[in-house]
Structure 1
Amino acid sequence: MDSELADIAVTLYTGSPTEFITARNARAADTDDPALAARIRALKKPSVAAWVVNVFAHERSSQLGEALLLAEELREAQADLDARALAQLGRDRRALTNRLAADAAELAEARGQRITASTREAVQQTISAAFFDPTAAAAVASARLVRELEPAGTFADIADSIVGGGAPDAPAVAAKPLDEVKARRERPDAERTVREAERTHDRVVREAATTDRALRDASVRVYELTHREQDLEAELAKVRRDAKRARGEAEKAETEQEALAQRVRDAEDDLRAARDALDGLANA
């Protein structure tokens, strides 16, 4: 593979997709080697999904390396692992593929590219293809994809057509653990620990949700009762003011009543005296 052409292709395939043709032709025009210039002009414009994967492979190579390591383990697991371990690797693959596709779409959107649901699905399918086929893994890691890939496909015979700038080299992946036998033996215990932790987590989350609802209900009740308490206190204060005023009016009326009773007694005494005087005149 021409390393110079591959480097140029990476730059073009991770640049702005809308400016690919212009950038490609300008790069070819600046090349003194006619043969290289012709090969640059022959580079095909990538699909949007392929461009998203290229940007991710170029800028997040460590994340992609994690995915490709799991891909290699998954392929080996088909022959070496039992059904339980294989199922676990499959779940890991799906979770990692979803996360990487989401990260790739987010990275592309940060560059100003609108990513549709269909493009996001194509990105996920392309990354998933790398888990099943080593040629697809190399193509994805090259950052020179021309088009998206299908997980069910085989790519060894068409490596040149799915990337620009020459067939991709095998991707570099992280080193495997030295004692894989020990790791596989210990995996069931680790899986059991994870499941127990997940059950505990789910139970605690449910309990926390129940407590949260109880707290919200209690908070609403406190709010309602506090306002009711304030209303009752205001009403009680008014009743106390009215009672105090009524007592004052009653005391005043009682005093006036006693004075009038005295006047009535005095008037009765005067009336009796007057009658006695009249009776005395009549008997004289």
Structure 2
Amino acid sequence: MADAVAELDAAADALYGLPPAEFTAARNERAASATGALAKRIKALRKPSVAAWAVNLLVRDGQLADALELSQALHEAQDELDAPELAKLGKQRRALVAGLARRAGALARDAGTPLSRAVLEEVELTINAAIVDAAAGAAILTGRLVRTVHADGIDAADLVDAVAGSVPGVPDRPAPGRDDLAARRARKAAEAAARDADRAASEADREAARIEGKLAKARERADLLHERVDDLRAELARIERDADAADEKVTDLQDEHTQARDRAKTAARAAQRARAAVEDAG
């Protein structure tokens, strides 16, 4: 029985990587070369949709590994109720899904079957299902998709008739215990507190550096102003000395002026007497 399943899976592996246009003829040829129940099972394999075939190409190209790593991170964030981490991972998931869908489109185009916008949307939904649903991811990674798969991460994905051949089982992830969850949450809280403290310390350092720069500029300006004050004081002292000297000069000149006026008056009186004497003599 195991050998029959393995043989059917091997036949499906070979067929579901072919372009859809080549599938039917290749399937019939392979069924004709088989015998018994295996031939009937191969003959019953259904042609994949174009979107499912494009996802199969992506699997064969090895491009879904990153998607499944992100899936594990999403599950851990959900277990820990880490809202910021979930938001960041959600953004990464959308970018990854879009990038992988573009890669699937390029692979399909290189294989001679360009994808329409509607088919690309189905490819994106299937890639997203591989990320948010572990069972869907395991089924999709067989590379034997017959139809696309949708999953919302809440309800289990519908995998009936989605895969040709056997569908791999997916062991349930053990639910983390209460003590483990509490420890994780405590660690996350401590890490968040440490990040907050680091941010606060960095901000305080930046603020101190900013104030230190302003302080240096203020000191430089104060020094310049004090130098200016010293220069002005020296200038004022010089001007005061000049003013005192000018006052002394004024005083001296006033004394000289008084003395000159007294001499002029004395000379005028002497002249007047001399003229009177002349008149008396005549």
User: TM-score band (shorter)?
Assistant: 0.5 to 0.7
Contact (CA 8 Å) 2:130, 2:137: kept in 1 or not? yes
Rounded Cα–Cα distance in structure 1 between residues aligned with 2:132 and 2:163? 18
- What is the match of residue 206 of structure 1? none
Secondary structure at 1:7 match in 2: helix
**Once the 2 structures are TM-superposed, how far is the Cα of residue 110 of structure 1 from its aligned partner?**
0.6
Matched, 1:166 2:169: no
Contact (CA 8 Å) 2:54, 2:108: kept in 1 or not? yes
Rounded Cα–Cα distance in structure 2 between residues aligned with 1:160 and 1:10? 18
**Once the 2 structures are TM-superposed, how far is the Cα of residue 135 of structure 1 from its aligned partner?**
1.3
- What is the match of residue 4 of structure 1? 7
**Once the 2 structures are TM-superposed, how far is the Cα of residue 140 of structure 1 from its aligned partner?**
1.2
- What is the match of residue 117 of structure 1? 117
Rounded Cα–Cα distance in structure 2 between residues aligned with 1:40 and 1:15? 15
Cα 1:36–1:160 change in 2 (3 A) is farther
- What is the match of residue 88 of structure 1? 88
Q: TM-score, normalising length from structure 1?
A: 0.57
Rounded Cα–Cα distance in structure 1 between residues aligned with 2:47 and 2:138? 19
Contact (CA 8 Å) 2:149, 2:159: kept in 1 or not? no
Matched, 1:38 2:60: no
Any idea what the Cα deviations from partners look like across 1:197-238, whole Å, max 9, x if unmatched? Answer: xxxxxxxxxxxxxxxxxxxxxxxxxxxxxxxxxxxxxxxxxx
**Once the 2 structures are TM-superposed, how far is the Cα of residue 10 of structure 1 from its aligned partner?**
1.4
Rounded Cα–Cα distance in structure 2 between residues aligned with 1:103 and 1:164? 23
Rounded Cα–Cα distance in structure 1 between residues aligned with 2:111 and 2:170? 28
**Once the 2 structures are TM-superposed, how far is the Cα of residue 169 of structure 1 from its aligned partner?**
4.7
Q: Which runs of 5+ in 1 are unaligned?
A: 172-180, 194-284
Contact (CA 8 Å) 1:142, 1:169: kept in 2 or not? no
CA RMSD of aligned residues (A): 2.8
- What is the match of residue 275 of structure 1? none
Secondary structure at 2:159 match in 1: helix
Q: Which runs of 5+ in 2 are unaligned?
A: 172-183, 200-282
Matched, 1:17 2:57: no
Rounded Cα–Cα distance in structure 2 between residues aligned with 1:106 and 1:16? 14
Contact (CA 8 Å) 1:160, 1:167: kept in 2 or not? no
**Once the 2 structures are TM-superposed, how far is the Cα of residue 136 of structure 1 from its aligned partner?**
0.8
**Once the 2 structures are TM-superposed, how far is the Cα of residue 68 of structure 1 from its aligned partner?**
0.7
Cα 1:183–1:54 change in 2 (3 A) is farther
Where do 1:32-71 residues align within 5 Å? 32=35, 34-60=36-62, 63-71=63-71
Rounded Cα–Cα distance in structure 1 between residues aligned with 2:106 and 2:161? 27
**Once the 2 structures are TM-superposed, how far is the Cα of residue 147 of structure 1 from its aligned partner?**
0.6
Bigger RCO of structures 1 and 2 (CA < 8 A, at least 6 apart): 1
Instruction: Read off the aligned partner of 1:6 and give its amino acid letter.
Output: D
**Once the 2 structures are TM-superposed, how far is the Cα of residue 59 of structure 1 from its aligned partner?**
2.0
**Once the 2 structures are TM-superposed, how far is the Cα of residue 31 of structure 1 from its aligned partner?**
1.0
**Once the 2 structures are TM-superposed, how far is the Cα of residue 90 of structure 1 from its aligned partner?**
0.8
**Once the 2 structures are TM-superposed, how far is the Cα of residue 170 of structure 1 from its aligned partner?**
4.6
Rounded Cα–Cα distance in structure 2 between residues aligned with 1:90 and 1:107? 26
Contact (CA 8 Å) 1:53, 1:143: kept in 2 or not? yes
Contact (CA 8 Å) 1:50, 1:146: kept in 2 or not? yes
Secondary structure at 1:54 match in 2: helix
Rounded Cα–Cα distance in structure 2 between residues aligned with 1:143 and 1:46? 11
Contact (CA 8 Å) 2:51, 2:119: kept in 1 or not? yes
Cα 1:155–1:167 change in 2 (3 A) is farther
Any idea what the Cα deviations from partners look like across 1:40-59, whole Å, max 9, x if unmatched? Answer: 11111110000000011012
The number of equivalent residue pairs is 178
**Once the 2 structures are TM-superposed, how far is the Cα of residue 159 of structure 1 from its aligned partner?**
3.4
**Once the 2 structures are TM-superposed, how far is the Cα of residue 160 of structure 1 from its aligned partner?**
4.7
Any idea what the Cα deviations from partners look like across 1:70-111, whole Å, max 9, x if unmatched? Answer: 112212311214210111111111111111111111111111
Secondary structure at 1:121 match in 2: helix
Rounded Cα–Cα distance in structure 2 between residues aligned with 1:36 and 1:19? 21
Secondary structure at 2:58 match in 1: helix
Task: Work out which of the residue numbers 25, 29, 37 in structure 2 matches 1:26.
Answer: 29
Moved more, 141-150 or 70-79: 70-79
Cα 1:83–1:155 change in 2 (3 A) is closer
**Once the 2 structures are TM-superposed, how far is the Cα of residue 130 of structure 1 from its aligned partner?**
1.1
Q: TM-score, normalising length from structure 2?
A: 0.57
